[in-house]
Structure 1
């Protein structure tokens, strides 16, 4: 049986660039409330931004549509789904074209080659993409508390003058 989230937050935004910031702010607020570190919140915001921007630019290509954002809140992690009903794509095919980034090419070409997918996979602990009827991007980020071991001295234990 699948573990049930403590809470679920759903948001639907128009598939327009102006609304991507709303998804980013919602995830930031949820992650802050959960106790994520500043750096992890920034990673979450960027990953969600990339997923939503992919929907805006590729799934709907300027057509009207909606993007669904679901945040499943667990004790130790945040699971996010970004869903659109636009044009599907083969994630593995896009990733195979990514290859090493060459600095002499334009950023628009790099973006077309799957940089957003690379960023999402780099920033999140787990990313899964399904694309039969539209695209569903599932991303998971775990809360990392007390990353410094208990055997490490705290600054308060250092001698002072």
Structure 2
């Protein structure tokens, strides 16, 4: 079976004021795909956290850079990759430094920096990290469609459903 998907890529400066641009783009893509309002909010929070981590940790005052956000649009899921070319760090080491957390961990008990990773892993269906010439975060959210039948049609048709 052939796996068909569309790929959209956005490159923005690693500055806080551009995280909103990423959120707006994501909102449009997820809405067109048929995600619910709540799912879109979850996607926006997780993606914003990944972008904010890149803004705050990848580069410093002397070295500026970009964040590259890729959207893999599949029929049944959305994959979001947030990458930077800044300073690499060991994600597992960072998690260990934050202490253990799980669904029952109180938000107040998370150390600084831990809340972002906690939110990303809680709100998304699958999360992978790659540390290589910077950091890449691959987040996947499955699309739970309630309607039956083909997803074919134009954007205008899908918006009117």
TM-score clears 0.5: yes
Q: Describe the shift of the 1:110–1:2 C-alpha distance in structure 2 as closer, same or farther (beyond 3 A).
A: farther
In structure 2, the residue matched to 1:70 is: 70
Number of residue equivalences: 141
Match of residue 126 from structure 2: 126
Other-structure match for 2:146? 146
Alpha-carbon distance in 2 for matches of 1:124, 1:72: 15
2:117 & 2:111 partners in 1: Cα distance?
11
* 2:126 aligned with 1:135: no
Cα gap change, 1:141 to 1:102, in 2 (>3 Å): closer
Shift of residue 97, structure 1, vs aligned partner = 2.4
In the alignment, what sits opposite 1:37?
36
In the TM superposition, residue 96 of structure 1 has moved relative to its aligned partner by: 1.6
**2:151 equivalent in structure 1:** none
RMSD over equivalenced CA pairs, Å: 2.1
- In structure 1, runs of 5+ residues without a counterpart are 148-161
Q: Could you say which residue in structure 1 is the equivalent of 2:111?
A: 110
Spell out the pairing of 1:10-49 with structure 2 (5 A cutoff). Answer: 10-49=9-48
Partners in 1 of 2:111 and 2:96 — Cα distance? 13
